[in-house]
Amino acid sequence: MRIIRLEVTGFRNIAEETLEPGPELNFFYGENAQGKTGLLEAIYVLGRARSFRTSRLLEVIPHGHAHAVVRGIIERRGLRLELAVQVSPRSRALYINGKRKTLSEYLGHLAVFVCSLERMDIIRGEPEHRRHFLDEGILSLDPKYARTLEQYHRVLAQKNRLLKLAAESDDPHRFVEEIEAWNEHLVRYGGLIHRARTRYVEQLQAHVPAGLFGSERISLRYISSLAAHDEVSEYEALLAERLRVRLSAELAIGHALVGPHRDELEITMDGQSLRHYGSLGQQRSALIALDLAQVSIYNSAFEDQAVFLLDDVDAELDRRRIVRVLAYLQGRAQCFLTTSKPEIIEASPWRAARFRIEAGRIFPASSS
Q: List pLDDT tens digits, range 54-95.
A: 989 999 999 888 899 999 999 988 899 999 999 999 899 999
> For residue 309, which amino acid is it?
L
CA 297 to each of CA 38, 292, 301, 338: distance values in angstroms, whole numbers, following the listed order? 27, 9, 6, 24
pLDDT at 118: 84
Topology agreement, domain 1-116+311-368 and domain 123-300: no
Is residue 348 very low, low, confident or very high in pLDDT (cuts 50, 70, 90)?
A: confident
In the predicted structure, residue 230 carries a pLDDT above the cut 70: no
pLDDT confidence band for 111 (50 / 70 / 90): very high
pLDDT score for 316: 64
Enumerate residues 6+ apart whose C-beta is below 8 A from 45.
11, 51, 57, 60, 70, 85, 87
Of the candidates 15, 53, 22, the residue with the CA atom closest to the CA atom of residue 335: 22
Query: How much is the pLDDT for 192?
Result: 96
Q: Residue 77 has what pLDDT? A: 83
Mean pLDDT of the chain: 91
H helices of 225-331, where?
235-245, 247-253, 274-277, 280-302, 313-316, 319-329
pLDDT of residue 319 exceeding 90: no
Provide the CATH topology of domain 123-300.
Glutathione S-transferase Yfyf (Class Pi); Chain A, domain 2 (1.20.1050)
Strand-pairing partners, residue 11, are 14
Q: Which residue has the higher pLDDT, 18 or 211?
A: 18
> Has residue 137 got a pLDDT over 90?
yes
367 pLDDT above the threshold of 60: no
Decide the pairing of beta strands 99-101 and 112-115.
unpaired
Q: Where are the domains of the chain?
A: 1-116+311-368, 123-300
Question: Measured in whole angstroms, how far is the alpha carbon of residue 272 from the centre of its chain?
Answer: 25
Kind of pairing between the strands at 333-339 and 25-29: parallel
Cα–Cα distance between 180 and 185 in angstroms, integer? 9
Q: Which helix (H) or strand (E) holds 220?
A: strand 218-223
- Level-2 CATH architecture, domain 1-116+311-368: 3-Layer(aba) Sandwich (3.40)
End-to-end CA distance of the chain: 23
Mean pLDDT across the stretch 194-221?
A: 91
Q: Is the dihedral of CA 255, 260, 261, 265 positive or negative?
A: positive
Residue 307 has pLDDT above 90, yes or no: yes
* Predicted confidence (pLDDT) per residue in 139-195, tens digit: 999 999 999 999 999 999 999 999 999 999 989 999 999 999 999 999 999 999 999
φ and ψ at residue 178, rounded to 5 degrees: -70, -40
106 has pLDDT over 60: yes
CB atoms within 10 A of CB 217: 12
| Residues with Cβ within 8 Å of residue 127, at least 6 apart in sequence | 262, 263, 264, 265
The predicted structure's pLDDT at residue 215: 80
Residue 229 has pLDDT above 60, yes or no: no
Residue range 269-290: mean pLDDT, rounded: 90
pTM of the model: 0.91
Q: Give the pLDDT score at 222.
A: 94
The stretch 282-291 carries a mean pLDDT of 91
Residue percentage of the chain with pLDDT more than 90:
74
DSSP helix/strand/coil, 39: helix
